[in-house]
Structure 1
Amino acid sequence: MELASFIIGIVGLVFGVAAMFKWTIDLRRRARYRDVIKAISKLDGVIRHHRFDVVVGLADGLVPAAIIALNFRIPEVHFVDATVSLRRGNQQMAPIDVSHIPDLSGKSVLLIDNHLYTGTNMRTAVAALAANNASAIVTMALFKHQMSTAVFEPDHYVYKVNGRVRSVPWGITPEHRSEYLS
């Protein structure tokens, strides 16, 4: 009994010191690559139905974009970066540069991201891809977070997340963390 009390005391001390220095101890369960593959497999029917010509990964959505391109033999995969500029109450977004993507005339495009919080990045990317002449754009997210400030709804998502962040193996940037998870 004394050993259990001692261990509980040490754990309490560690959390107390961490709180005193504003350190965070991350006890969240990370998604594994296996979980990501499982999520993508849940989108199998949709991906096969649309017969995409191009897959575009939005920010860190490049990893699932590459997995989809390889597994569904989609010949073209691209990456677009999204600078987080959303400030609470201001849903303006910096333009997303798609100048490196060849003309998309007549092509069906899948735009995918890991996490969709407000949807501002995805909405901006859709507009940029449409301006690049894509004939059809379908949007997907692995994790759709319930946000009161949402401005865009993806066409498809696998998991709806309420409050908890499910980190993917390749991480979430500190910039995203400070903007959306404070």
Structure 2
Amino acid sequence: MVHNNYFSKEYLLIDAENTQAIASALATYWQANNDSMKPRIWYLEGDLGAGKTTLSQAFIKTLMQDYQLRVKSPTYTLVEQYESSQGSCRVLHADLYRLCEPEELEYLGFRDLEAQADVVLLEWPSKAAGLLPQADLILALRIVDTSRYLKVVACSPEAADWLRSWSQ
């Protein structure tokens, strides 16, 4: 998948707690920013075990303002939905790793679910290339030796402005 890179930031992830802290900071900033141009479609890329689900769980718990919330990995269900208790935020979290054919998204009702969500987190987006909406942000996780890194890539000028103004 080819994406425009209008701006990016990279972070060393020291441990799972650090990954969760960065995800929470992103979610807090996303929620506080009422700009209609804030990123809506987020691709999460990286090898198995890189931290995509850990990052997603912390992001969702922060957006839902419920740190006791059980955020399941959608590895087997493929899609999970979350709505804040006030109804002010809806998150769609999809893990597409187990898709056999990209067209399976249609059977899941993905387009309708995506249209209702305020923010969409997509793990393994390459499994449904060509059928997904264009990413606003890509969260690319990688492991190098014993270190983990997160690169946040803005794929549009609006997302680049949003990411530049985030002060982490």
Return the TM-score normalized by structure 1.
0.32
- Report which of the two has the higher share of strand: 2
Output the TM-score relative to the length of structure 2: 0.34
**Which structure's CA Rg is the greater one?**
1
Identify the structure with the greater helix proportion: 1
